[in-house]
Amino acid sequence: MATSTLIQFLAPGEAGDTSHRRQTETYIAGGTIVAGDVVAFDAGGQTNADRALYVVQAGIVATGNGLAAGVALNAAAAGEAVKVVVAGYAEDVNCAAGVAAGAVVNAAGTAAGQVEAAAATDLAVFGVTLEAEAGGTVDMIIYKQF
């Protein structure tokens, strides 16, 4: 079920799982997904409208994966429900090494399921980091795609 963007929770200092203009959607995993993975619509494994119902770990696309839907909040095996941040704040997003705070990032440019610093020639920009990468993850704001 889609989350509402009509009412915003505005209490500062609350945990990251409150709204703070974050939007989440629930999808069905089309394969194994790890919490923090960038996920993409399963256009290759599904047909018809199921392509917008199933997500998989975002595959590598050199200029950024345009099918990237968001970031998984929970791990899931094929057929299980996976909650995905599709817009707004996301914590512990899988990230390439060396990405700086404030960097505009793309999804799965050189590694599946990760964000990385975007190049000027990238076609699919995914969001912006709020901190420098540490331990393979980053907190970020995901740009609303749809």
Q: Kindly tell me if the per-residue pLDDT of 17 is higher than 80.
A: no
User: Looking at the domain assignment, is residue 74 inside a domain?
Assistant: yes
pLDDT bucket at 104, cuts 50 / 70 / 90:
very high
User: Looking at the domain assignment, is residue 17 inside a domain?
Assistant: no
User: What per-residue confidence (pLDDT) applies to 16?
Assistant: 60
User: Looking at the domain assignment, is residue 101 inside a domain?
Assistant: yes
User: Looking at the domain assignment, is residue 2 inside a domain?
Assistant: no
Domain count, the chain: 1
Amino acid at 39: V
pLDDT digits (tens, 9 = 90+) for 31-66: 999 999 999 999 999 999 999 999 999 999 999 999
Q: What is the DSSP letter of 9?
A: -
CA dihedral of 26, 30, 35, 39, whole degrees rounded to 10: -80
User: Looking at the domain assignment, is residue 56 inside a domain?
Assistant: yes
Task: Taking residues 67-83, report their average pLDDT.
Answer: 97
Give residue 47's Cα distance to chain centre. 22
Domain span holding position 35: 23-142
pLDDT bucket at 145, cuts 50 / 70 / 90:
confident
Q: Kindly tell me if the per-residue pLDDT of 10 is higher than 80.
A: no
